[in-house]
Amino acid sequence: MSDQSYWDKQHDKYLATDWINKPSIFAEWVLQYFPPTGNVLDLGAGQGQDSAFFDATGYTVIATDFSPHALQLAASKLPDDIALQQVDLSQPLPFDDSFFDVVYAHLSLHYFDEVTTGTLFSEIYRVLKPGGILAALCNSDQDPEIVEGKQLEPNFIELDGVHKRYFSAQSAKSFARQFQLIVADDQGTTYKDEAKGVHNLIRLVARKPAG
């Protein structure tokens, strides 16, 4: 199964959940670190619930995802002023330098090997304006499923045909070393993970230096 097919099927499953149409816990928490207004790039927006939340709060939002099916579902739900774009995060981001005030990533940065992950963080740095904010929620290396897959690199596994990286607060800091750190901790959660008793996802908030 291709990664795209996997995510298309996942999004059909998500339609039956009670959380797919409401802002994530992370989105509501991290909003306190956003500038008052500006352009938000939502990487891995899925069906767009967080994009809708940011739009309603007054931001200009571009919602992106790897899955065309997710974007189709998002298009049926989101207001017309939210731009939708298919983006493969393993490739250079198709956006201009210093364009966004915020790059937001809810569980979308942890699917790549170390080199690709480092390049992705550099790409996020590139497209952010000086003073812009990176806000990301990632898998934790304390997640029990880390031992269930085939290890490809330290804290990077293949599980059910999908590649997953597991961060610690320290590794998140390392990948974000170009940025000024605001928050890096293991206090993140999601509605889906709360149901499983998992409360230690990695929260990363960092600023591109203004100078």
Which domains, ranges and CATH numbers included, belong to the chain? 3-8+39-207 (3.40.50.150)
140-167 exposure pattern, b = at least 16 Cβ within 10 A, e = fewer: bbebeebeebeeeeebbbeeeeebbbbb
Beta-strand relationship, 60-65 and 83-86: parallel
First-to-final CA distance of the chain: 45
The C-alpha angle 134, 140, 143, rounded to 5 degrees, equals: 155
Of 28-42, 151-165, 177-191, which gets the smallest average pLDDT? 151-165
Confidence at residue 52, expressed as pLDDT on a 0 to 100 scale:
97
Q: Is the pTM of this model over 0.85?
A: yes
Is the pLDDT reported for residue 12 higher than 70?
no
Confidence at residue 1, expressed as pLDDT on a 0 to 100 scale:
37
Is the pLDDT reported for residue 154 higher than 50?
yes
Taking only the tens place, the pLDDT of each residue in 120-151 is: 999 999 999 999 999 999 999 988 888 888 99
What's at 147, amino acid-wise?
A: V
Is the pLDDT reported for residue 63 higher than 60?
yes
Overall average pLDDT of the 61-67 stretch = 95
Tokens of 115: 């080199």
102 vs 107: CA distance, rounded Å:
16
Helix (H, G, I), strand (E, B) or coil at 44: coil
Of the candidates 113, 204, 108, 111, which has an alpha carbon nearest to the alpha carbon of residue 154?
Answer: 113
Beta-strand relationship, 156-159 and 150-153: antiparallel
Confidence at residue 4, expressed as pLDDT on a 0 to 100 scale:
66
Of the candidates 89, 85, 95, 108, which has an alpha carbon nearest to the alpha carbon of residue 27?
Answer: 108
